[in-house]
Structure 1
Amino acid sequence: MDVSTNITLCVPRPPSGQSPDVAIVISTPKLTYIPANHILLRVDRFGFSANNVTYQALGEHPHYRYFDFHTTPEHEEVSAKSHGIVPVWGFATVITSGHPKIAVGERVYGYLAPTRYLLLPVSPSDVNKYAFYISRPHLPADYRPYNQVLRCATDPQYTPNPRAEDLTMLYRPLFWTAYWFEDWLWSSKISGVAHITPKIIGLTSSRNMEFTKGLELYDEVLEYSSFTASDSFHGREKDRWVYVDVAGNAPLNQRVFDHFTSPYTGVLAAFITLGMTNLSPSDVCVLAPGGAFLHAKWLAVRRHELRVEEIFTMQEIAWKELMRDCGGWVEIERAAYEKIIKDGVRPSKGLVWSLWDSDMPVPNATRL
């Protein structure tokens, strides 16, 4: 294996006119000069899911700006104007450090890039026992959680074994979005559910019905094609509903919205975008009427309302519960990027990738 060569997965930006479904693997030399207050990471592996495809689809959306986190490598086949980098959550090891408080050999977890080697600028004074922060002054201040790199040695949620790392890469980003969304929902006046026990209904496709019911997370699970025929959606004029869109399925969202235009179906108190798992890189993003929930923005609010110790305790308890329950939900698998784009992934599969795989080609540039 050629350790002197870097490999990076790049995707076309919409203005390039290229198909967004055709990614390109770029080969560049490994950096030998590391500036002060920078670190060079060896990205060992990272999780990849519909969440990352959403990052690509929303890469240039002004509300998200996912392509602004990592710099496109300089190469004759790509440029910062033609291609972007889809962020990934993964584990890495510090192999060179230009910061006096960050040691070579440290294991870290964060919002990385799909590459072998990653150079990151560290905020000179923003390093503590638990984490350090990447300097990205071009991004809004409330994107700070995405700039955080956790130091595994002091991370209370870290377990030093491959299986636990795999589950962390797959679940941690999505789980904390869901966790803090629920916190926001219970704190929000729009839901009107602060003093009642809500009924939670899940909507899914016919092929995923068995899996979704088996999670035992919902009071009821209904199919996309027939949910409006359920008794739960009729004769409930006084009910208040909160619809959380995690799929980004525009026709389904319209059906939900149309259903609640009747005076006999209750009130749709909120219609909020939380995720867009059905979104493909070529789709146009349309947010729900209630807007999108952005985890980083709400967490910034809660940091002013709760002590850091309280937040850590809340998260540690919730994370341990998830790790206890989620092991049987998913099988770890590796599959190529183009297969995910074309065929999707079964809900029971979790994808973990590495650009260090022994069968990975090291071309100058290869389109997938």
Structure 2
Amino acid sequence: MTTTLLVRKDRPGEARLAAADDAALDAGQVRVRVERFALTANNVTYAAFGDAMQYWRFFPSAEEGWGVVPVWGFGTVVQSAHAGVAVGERLWGYWPMAGSAVLQPRKLSPEGFADGAPHRAELHPVYNFYARCNADPFYSADSEDLQALLRPLFTTSWLIDDFPADRQFFGARRVLLSSASSKTAYGTAFQLRQREGIELVGLTSAANRAFCESLGCYDRVLAYEDFAQLDPAVPSVYVDFAGNARFRKTVHEQLADLRYDCAVGGTHVAELGGGADLPGPRPTLFFAPAHAKKRQQEWGLDAFNRRLLAGWQAFRDRAGDPAAPWLRVRTSEGADAALQAWQQLAAGGTEPAAGHIVALRG
């Protein structure tokens, strides 16, 4: 029997548990026990943009109006009807918030395989790939929790950093990042900090301002209500991880020289909204896999992976520095604890220094 955490599609803060018997495997399938996965603001974004970005399609729910939010983490093969995948193999990848998942491996290599389930055929291959931990250069056994919490977010951060740089920052001299305490935002700031001539401004709640300042990634950190302190004439790029429609309106109305509005996330679930009828550039949704594909074609896959790996290792080492860690890992064991962790996260009640790992089990 497998327990699954279901989320209400139109109200991500509403969730419940459902249990069902495991079906027998078909030829060519494997069953993976989902052992540990991360819960971050990125998963709230998956729910908030579940229809627009097709996140609900990865692990379809049979219950109308309810969906399964994808998560990143580790699993172990517990049953196999595929000759190329052995019981006991440990995998990194994209999982349902559930105790187990059934995959249909194809395009096998020593490094991993893709899920060939028909319903995932049209979805982006970045999310369909499962890495074999024993051949994964990004993997280290002593930092699994950090990998689950930060690795997929950092890939997005790394790509967001490269995106405006590839376009000479649209002529801007300042980058503003909302939801600056979120892991994807400060991962982006960690990368942008290495570029010259760009001022980085983190925008956050008053309660999270001290945390953001402690990271050392931002040149300046402001609470949202202090936004008017910024010089409106400085050419700026806005990278929006919050998705707060009211605050986006403030940004567009108060900045006289806003060059680009890069919409990334939706951590402010209750304040989500569109970008119509705003002065300045129209908000443009950033889709990380599309920019990854562009760079892989330009640089070649090996060079792309080498650059990403070097960036990841530097970020992982800084975020996990025992002397001054950016994250304190908290583990939720069992279905009820997993449900509570999701509800807390969706309500915005998680302190930024906490990293939530879930072991749903069953």
Shared fold by TM > 0.5? yes
**What residue is the counterpart of 1:130 in the other structure?**
111
1:49 aligned partner: 40
Q: 2:321 matched to 1:321?
A: no
Instruction: Report the Cα distance in structure 2 between the residues aligned to 1:66 and 1:244, rounded to whole angstroms.
Output: 21
Unaligned residue ranges in structure 1 (runs of 5+):
73-78, 262-266, 357-361, 363-368
SS in 1 for 2:31: strand
What residue in structure 1 maps to residue 140 of structure 2?
Answer: 159
Amino acid at match of 1:277: T
Change (3 A) 1:260 1:136: farther
Which residue matches 1:260?
Answer: 255
Aligned counterpart in structure 1 of residue 356 of structure 2, from 336, 341, 351: 351
**Large movers: runs of 4+ above 4 Å:** 136-142, 193-196
| Contact in 2 for aligned 1:45/1:92 (Cα 8 Å) | yes
**Match in the other structure for 2:274:** 286
Whether 1:23 and 2:12 are equivalent positions in the alignment is no
Displacement of 1:136 in angstroms is 5.1
Of 146, 169, 178, the residue aligned with 2:127 is 146
1:142 to 1:67, Cα distance in 2 relative to 1, 3 A: closer
Change (3 A) 1:269 1:142: farther
Structure 1 residues 96 and 82: CA distance shift in structure 2, 3 A: same
Secondary structure of residue in 1 paired with 2:284: coil
**Deviation of 1:196 (Å):** 5.8
Query: Secondary structure at 2:351's aligned position in 1?
Result: coil
AA aligned to 1:339 is Q
Partner of 2:51: helix, strand, or coil?
coil
SS of the equivalent of 1:191 reads: helix
Conservation of the 8 A alpha-carbon contact between 2:266 and 2:272: no
Contact 1:6 1:116 (8 Å CA) reproduced: yes
2:58–2:119: 8 Å Cα contact kept in structure 1?
Answer: no
Q: Aligned partners of 1:225 and 1:284: how far apart in 2? A: 18
SS at match of 1:258: helix
Q: Which amino acid aligns with 1:219?
A: D
Higher-Rg structure is: 1
Equivalent residue number for residue 302 of structure 2: 309
Amino acid at match of 1:204: T
In structure 2, C-alpha distance between the alignment counterparts of 1:83 and 1:54, rounded to whole Å: 16
Identity of aligned residues (%): 30
Q: Deviations over 1:336-365 (max 9, x none)?
A: 233333452010111111112xxxxx8xxx
Structure 2 stretches lacking a partner, 5+ long? 174-194, 276-280
Residue 225 of structure 1 aligns to a residue whose secondary structure is: helix
Q: 1:171 aligns with which of 137, 141, 150?
A: 150
Which secondary structure state, in structure 1, belongs to the residue aligned with residue 294 of structure 2? helix
AA aligned to 2:236 is: W
Q: Structure 2: which amino acid aligns with 1:134?
A: D
Match of 1:273 in 2: 263
- Match of residue 344 from structure 2: 339
How has the CA–CA distance of structure 1 residues 205 and 219 changed in structure 2, closer, same or farther, with 3 Å as cutoff? same
Paired residue secondary structure (2:140): coil
How far apart are the structure 1 equivalents of 2:328 and 2:48? 26
SS at match of 1:200: strand
May I ask how many residue pairs the two structures share in their alignment? 324
Match of 1:11 in 2: 7
Instruction: Choose 104-113 or 307-316, whichever is displaced more.
Output: 307-316
2:293 maps to amino acid: A
AA aligned to 1:188 is R
Contact 2:244 2:273 in 1 (8 A): no
Q: Report matched runs for 1:55-66 at 5 Å.
A: 55-61=46-52, 64-66=53-55
Q: Find the aligned partners of 2:12 and 2:202 in 1 and give their Cα distance.
A: 31
Output the CA distance in 1 between the equivalents of 2:353 and 2:292. Answer: 29
Q: Cα 1:49–1:30, aligned 2, differ >3 Å: closer, same or farther?
A: same
Name the residue aligned to 1:248: 243
Higher fraction of helix: 2
Work out the CA distance in 2 between the residues paired with 1:352 and 1:8.
16
CA distance in 1 between counterparts of 2:304 and 2:152 reads 16
Distance 1:107 1:12 in 2: 31
Aligned residue identity for 1:214: S
CA change 1:198–1:69 in 2 (3 A) is: same
Kept in 2: contact 1:142–1:296 (CA 8 A): no
TM-score when normalising by structure 2: 0.83
Q: Alpha carbons of 1:140 and 1:179: their partners in 2 closer, same or farther (altered >3 Å)?
A: farther
Q: CA deviation at 1:20?
A: 4.4
What letter matches 1:352 in structure 2? I
Partners of 1:313 and 1:355 in 2: CA distance:
33
